[in-house]
Amino acid sequence: MKVPKTMLLAVAVVMAAPGCGHSNAWQERMTQLRSEVSETADAGAVTLRYNRPECDCPPWEMKLSKRWVRVQIVESTDPALPLEELEKEGKRKAAAGEATGSPLTLALETGKPSYCANGTPYFLMSVHPAGD
């Protein structure tokens, strides 16, 4: 079976093309966002809210100056606030129409964001006792 030259050329172009990763501008925005998330977490008490989306994104958001960024809480080292209690409290406040949760001490767990199926970035965070 003879393969047409146009098909070989198309395959060669696809194979030689750069990866399907994000553009440099996108990478720079994500680096900046990661810095903002890290700086906010390092500054101390972070405002966190439970805001369950209709997609596969995590239900938590943290306040970054004038906007909210999705985060996934992966662990809690605060014995007074295990993950189950945090989620229960978050759901209760969301159902009551309370816009924000209590300030918490969070730490960034990874250097790069993860992404929801729709492309929304989110960061993995952990909860720590105040003062840690």
Domain count, the chain: 1
Residue 106 maps to a domain = yes
In angstroms, rounded to a whole number, what is the distance separating the alpha carbons of residues 118 and 9?
32
End-to-end CA distance of the chain: give it in Å, rounded: 68
DSSP 8-state code for residue 112: S
Residue pair 77/86 in contact (Cβ under 8 Å)? The answer is no
Residue 18 maps to a domain = no
Residue 112 maps to a domain = yes
Which three-class secondary structure state does DSSP give residue 121?
Answer: strand
Residue 43 maps to a domain = yes
Domain range for 81: 27-128
Residue 16 maps to a domain = no
Residue 94 maps to a domain = yes
Q: What digits encode the pLDDT tens for the residues 34-60? A: 988 988 888 888 888 899 899 999 999
Least confident of 32-36, 52-56, 88-92, 128-132: 128-132
What type of residue sits at position 43?
Answer: A
Residue 124 pLDDT > 50: yes
Residue 15 maps to a domain = no
pLDDT at residue number 12: 42
Residue pair 88/36 in contact (Cβ under 8 Å)? The answer is no
